[in-house]
Structures are given as C-alpha cells and as structure tokens.
Amino acid sequence: MDSLIAASARALAAGDALGALKRVALRDDPPALALRGIAMAQLGEHPRARELLRRAARGFGAHEELARARCLVAEAEVALAMRDLGGSPRLLAAAASTLEAHADHGNALQARLIAARKFLLLGRLGDAAATLAPLDARGLPPSLAAVAELTAAELALRSLRTAMAQAALDRAHEAAERARVPALLAEVAEARAALDRPAARRRSAGGEETLRLQEVEALLASDALVVDACRRGVGAGDAWRPLARRPVLFALARALAEAWPGDVDREALIAYAFNTRHPDETLRARLRVEVGRLRALIAPLAGIEATARGFVLKPRGGREVAVLAPPIDGEQASLLALLSDGAAWSTSALALALGASQRTVQRALAELEATGRVRAIGRARAQRWLSPPLTGFTTILLLPAALPIE
C-alpha cells in the first residue's frame, strides 16, 4: 500500500473518519475508493459509501480477489444497515469462500454473519439457521462474536426457545464487554429487555394475566390445550393445528376456549364467528357444518359436544384450556402477533388469517409501517410483510477487520 493510503488507514483505525477521508478525498484508485467508502459508512453516509465500495470492488484487478472480496463484504454490510436486502446471496457466499481460501477467517465469518442476518430480516428462518449453524464464534474478535451471538439469540427468540436465547444473549453480553463497543452493549441490553416485556395475555373465563416470553414458551410446552390467537392455531404439547387460513374455525375455537369449562350459546357463536347479529336458519346450519369441521380437525386434542343451548369444549385427558392473546387488543396488535413468527406474510394471507378485509389490513399495516413496527419487502404482488427484529438488529458497521488494502 502507498503512503497516503497507509496514513488514511491509520486515521481510520484511530476513529478519525474525516481525517481518513481528507487524505484520499481526491483519489479514485481502488484502495482509495475503498477507504473513502468505509469512512463514509462510518459517517452515516450509507448510499454514498455503497457506491464507493462498489466502484472499489470493480476496480481491483482479477489477481486482487482478496481485496475485492473485502469490498463486497463491506458493501453488503452497508446494504444491510440500509435495509436494502436485494443483493444476491450467492455473491456474498462467493466472497466468503474467497476470504476463507485466503485464510482471512475474521472477514469470512463476517460475510456469513451478514448473510445470516439478511436471511433473518427476510423471514427466511431456515436459511438463517443453516448459515449460522456451522459458524464457530470462539476465538473470534469479540465484536464479531457479539454479533454472532445476537443473531443466534434472535433466531432462538423467533422459534420461541427462550432458554437458548437467554444463553446466547449472556454470551453476547460477555463478548460485547470484551469488545468495549457501547453500541453493541446497548443492543444486548435492549434484547435482554425484550425477554422481560409482556409477550402475550392468557385469557380464560376467570380473567386474564400477562405473560412474558418464557411463560408463553412454558405454556406452549405444557400439556394444556392452547388456542393461540397470536399464531392462530390450536396446540397441545407437540401437536399443532394451524388455523391461520381458517378464520371461522379459529373464531369458533377461540370462543369455545374462552368460555371453557362452560358452554357457548349458539347465537353468540354465530354472531362471533360469522360477524352478524341476525342469526337465521341458514347460519344455524352453517354453524353445525363449521363445528363439525373444527371437531374433526382437533379431534385428537379435544372434543366438541353439543349442549342444550350451544357447544362446549371437552379437552382430552383432563387437559387445561388456555387462550393466548396478543398483549394488546386491536387490528394492529393482531397483525403484529401474526408477524412475530418472523416469517414473511402477504397482505392477503394476513387478511385471511384475521378474517378482515385486505383494505382494513392494508390500512393497519400502513400505520404500523409509519411507526416502524412492521417492514415491507418486495413490491406490488410480491410484497411481503415482516415484523422488525426482536433484538433491534445492529446497524453498527463492523466492516471488514482488515481493510481491503494491505
């Protein structure tokens, strides 16, 4: 590397992004472009940073593939901070292999972490887990280890494994302390707080109580028959009957579970499930059909018996019955609860699950998006909705540990 590049890198390493920039501001050779890009990223000028890093990557020759790969990783991280998730996962994977082949393990791991976080943000939990699984955070620079553990914690939270999440967050905290990066420590603290916030309400005929994530996990793991209004389904132990696409059946199950051990009046069921105050003979017939369908679906978990005035839920094997509801009421809360599974939902799927019109859902989503509580990816018919990550996901740029120049 040449003297001004070295001087600029020296300034950057000392945290002086402006000083770094000043030294190479007028140069357009690839190492200078890369340094300018990294300095710009640290100054929060993400779009400009990205463009500079792209130009740097293009400028490095075929024999400088290590430098090029580092630029690609830096660019991908800036894109992630911008929440632009359109980049190709294959490019990033190729960069990671190149770095691995050149024994640049720190930056290779960083590339894979970026890929895993991107999959998480895209709601592709399986891909995220597959990317994260082979990574070994031990023996890494602490800041990278902290990000790796935060990502693992997020993934564990998404799949409602709070003990795993807790353990990952403890390791993240320890790593963040070693890294002495205040922003990382704050992020770990925030993620830990998320574990203590009310995650759902348990409702029954007797009243309701607020549950934390651990308690939700414990309830779902228990033998109780849970009608889950957050994920829209009925479960007991390992058994799970998704009803997200059967809103009428879900409404019936929920009404029956909330009244348990009592029964529910036919007219009340019709009013609740069919959303009408004027029951007639056709609706009574339809109620019989729908109850029959629900009965067949949940037969291994519970029976539904007719009573003099309506129907009653009879869980098998003396199980308890619990209704899990979103922590607050309303369309928006229900949407957030549905999205909290971390998967990407289409508007029509959300509308179907909530039994609301697409218009209503669209409006609620727009309000949520304006306050940053949901995110959209894709456009038009390919548009999908996602909840923001539970752990708030870092936009701290770690950027390649070694600069793309040597």
Partner 1 sequence: MSSSSSKAGKDQAAITASAAEIVREYGPLAGEASVGGVTHDGQRVWAATRDGLIAFDPVSGKTTRTLACAGDAGTAFDGTYLYQITEARIDKIDPVTGTVVASIPAPGNGSDSGLTWAEGSLWVGQYRDRKIRQIDPATGAVLRTIESNRFVTGVTWVDGELWHGTWEGDESELRRINPESGAVLERLEMPRGTGVSGLESDGGDLFYCGGGGSGKVRAVRRPKAAARA
**Least spacing, CB of residue 212 vs partner 1, in Å:** 44
d(CA 74, CA 91): 13
Q: Is 294 left (phi over 0), alpha (psi -120 to 50) or beta?
A: alpha
d(CA 157, CA 155): 5
The tokens describing 193, both together, are: 């707080």
**Least spacing, CB of residue 250 vs partner 1, in Å:** 59
Mapping DSSP to helix (H, G, I), strand (E, B) and coil, where does residue 310 land?
strand
**Least spacing, CB of residue 59 vs partner 1, in Å:** 10
The secondary structure element, H or E, covering residue 11 is helix 3-13
CB contact at 8 A, 335 and 364: yes
CB contact at 8 A, 331 and 356: yes
The secondary structure element, H or E, covering residue 233 is strand 233-236
Residue 363: how many CB atoms within 10 A of its CB? 14
Mapping DSSP to helix (H, G, I), strand (E, B) and coil, where does residue 204 land?
strand
- Which one, 37 or 247, has the nearer CB to partner 1? 37
- Which one, 21 or 165, has the nearer CB to partner 1? 21
- Which one, 3 or 371, has the nearer CB to partner 1? 3
- Which one, 27 or 212, has the nearer CB to partner 1? 27
- Which one, 21 or 67, has the nearer CB to partner 1? 67
**Least spacing, CB of residue 106 vs partner 1, in Å:** 12
- Which one, 63 or 90, has the nearer CB to partner 1? 63
- Which one, 141 or 237, has the nearer CB to partner 1? 141
Within 8 A by CB and 6+ apart from 198, the residues are 210, 211, 212, 327
Please give the residue ranges that form the binding site for partner 1 (CB under 8 A). Answer: 1-7, 10, 13, 23, 27, 29, 31, 61, 63-67, 102-103, 402, 406
**Least spacing, CB of residue 58 vs partner 1, in Å:** 15
- Which one, 2 or 196, has the nearer CB to partner 1? 2
d(CA 237, CA 218): 10
- Which one, 31 or 310, has the nearer CB to partner 1? 31
**Least spacing, CB of residue 44 vs partner 1, in Å:** 26
Q: Which of 321, 326, 313 is nearest to 354 (CA)?
A: 326
Residue 316: how many CB atoms within 10 A of its CB? 13
**Least spacing, CB of residue 56 vs partner 1, in Å:** 13
Burial of residue 185 (number of CB atoms within 10 Å: 0-12, 13-18, 19+): middle
CB contact at 8 A, 79 and 87: yes
**Least spacing, CB of residue 122 vs partner 1, in Å:** 33
**Least spacing, CB of residue 94 vs partner 1, in Å:** 16
